[in-house]
Amino acid sequence: MDRASRRNYRYVYAVAVGIFVAGILMGDYREIPSGMKAIFYNNAVLITDYVAVAGIAGAFFNVALVTGATAFLMQMNHLPMHGRSIFTLGLMSGFSFFGKNIYTMWFILLGTWLLSVVNKEKFSKNLISGLLATSLGPIIGVAYLHHGVTPISMTYALLAGIVIGFIVPLLAAHTNGILRGLSLYNGGFAVGLLALIMVPVMAGYGFDFSNTSTWSTGNNTKFAVFLYVTSLICITSGYKADPKYAWTNYRNLLRRPGVAKDDFTQLDGMGAVLINMGVNIAICTSYVLITKGDLNGPTLGGIFTVAGFSANGKHARNIVPIMLGIYLGSSFSTEFTPNHHGVQMAIFLGTTLAPISGTYGIVAGILAGVVHSSAILQSGLGYSGANLYNNGFCGGVVSVVCYPVFHHFLKENTYAEPSPSRTRKAEEVRKELPPVQMEQALIEK
């Protein structure tokens, strides 16, 4: 693993600790034991707001545990801290506010490990797909809570986890080509397809996927301060990481379509990526406050997810048209409003479609957002809310439908050049070092 990645893993552990401390400052640390117990005994079918279920301190403790555990698994398997690793951490952290937890993830990862053993592959090859598969954690929760937590129900959960963790990496490799990079949540599309089969089968054998929706309110001020401080830290850290080029590279980053292959860490550097994270967090937080929405577990999770994908696909110019489209679609609907709980989540998680606006322009992005705003509220019915990446599944369907139309009529943005400073650094390395050392030095740069 390169030196920069080792350093960045230390920062991730510091972030996990920071999340834990923030939870204690905003909540009551005495809530943590009872909060973690409440999370264990909740199946987490959408929408389950862990802030409402476990309290602020309990919810943030769960997020910190999942973030730290994810980083540890990735580091132990020598995954470099590049775009794909960062967005995986963003997804794991974000969804730990409203469905993923430190209990259910291990059942699924066991299945992914078994897949690696059967295929005689390194676990690292399938680890990220396995982590993304934990979006089906509610299926595990439903299984081990079936008629109470008993040895037989835990066996059901173990079997379900093995099936999920074993199949999803194979399925994700297949669906990746279908989406053509226009929906960033390929894992969400893959697990949605699997959930469409598993949930009806399990329901047919008596497993209960019903749940009482929870949605906390009244924490906007606390969480807004937390998010704006996080935004400021990201922007400041980005500038300090690359004071000479961070802002210039960030402006170059904004030119990119943001398709799934656009790894901003490699193309523009971590300085620009951190600034991008900070700006996107500020945009999302401001949207909630302006529209008088709710900052809670689900919306915090959406914002963390946007932050994660700020390293690999999302930036201000391609997420805002999608957000605007979802807002307009819900504003003119006769069935729901912009402050509908599902729409508030979709505003941020629906930016899986950011590559559409980045590739085909603002109007295409707005149209995709309008379509997504209605489709998202119906797309999860086939799996009873058991797929936490509901927006990923819906966004995949929307992108598949939109692609042939937009591709036929609209000009594509295919900009993919590295920022000039990244090119210059590569040239400097080539001049200064012998060929034997050049490749490793370029990685560390």
Per-domain residue ranges of the chain: 1-315, 416-445
In the chain, how long is the greatest CA-to-CA distance? 68
Low-confidence ranges of the chain (pLDDT < 50): 429-430, 432-433, 435-445
* pLDDT of res. 428: 53
Q: Measured between alpha carbons, how far is residue 194 from residues 168, 176, 189 in Å? A: 8, 15, 9
Contacts of 379 (CB under 8 A, 6+ apart): 192, 390, 393, 394, 397
Helix (H, G, I), strand (E, B) or coil at 220: helix
Query: Looking at the chain, how many residues does it have?
Result: 445
* pLDDT of res. 116: 98
Residue 122 sits at the vertex; the CA angle it makes with 117 and 124, to the nearest 5 degrees, is 120
C-alpha closest to that of 200 among 13, 411, 383, 425: 383
Note if the bond before 47 is cis, omega within 30 degrees. Answer: yes
User: 3-state SS of 69-82?
Assistant: HHHHHHHHCCCCCC
Tokens at 313, concatenated: 């696909």
Query: Distance (Å, rounded) from C-alpha 130 to C-alpha 106?
Result: 10
Residue 198 sits at the vertex; the CA angle it makes with 302 and 144, to the nearest 5 degrees, is 80
* Residue in the block written with tokens 């951490």: 89
The HSE-up count of residue 143 (CA atoms within 13 Å, CB side) is 27
* pLDDT of res. 436: 42
* pLDDT of res. 5: 85
Which pTM does this prediction carry? Answer: 0.94
Query: Distance (Å, rounded) from C-alpha 128 to C-alpha 295?
Result: 28
* pLDDT of res. 430: 45
* pLDDT of res. 427: 56
Query: Distance (Å, rounded) from C-alpha 12 to C-alpha 214?
Result: 29
* pLDDT of res. 185: 95
252-307 pLDDT, tens digit each:
999 999 999 999 999 999 999 999 999 999 999 999 999 999 999 999 999 999 99
C-alpha closest to that of 158 among 119, 194, 77, 104: 104
Query: Distance (Å, rounded) from C-alpha 390 to C-alpha 208?
Result: 19
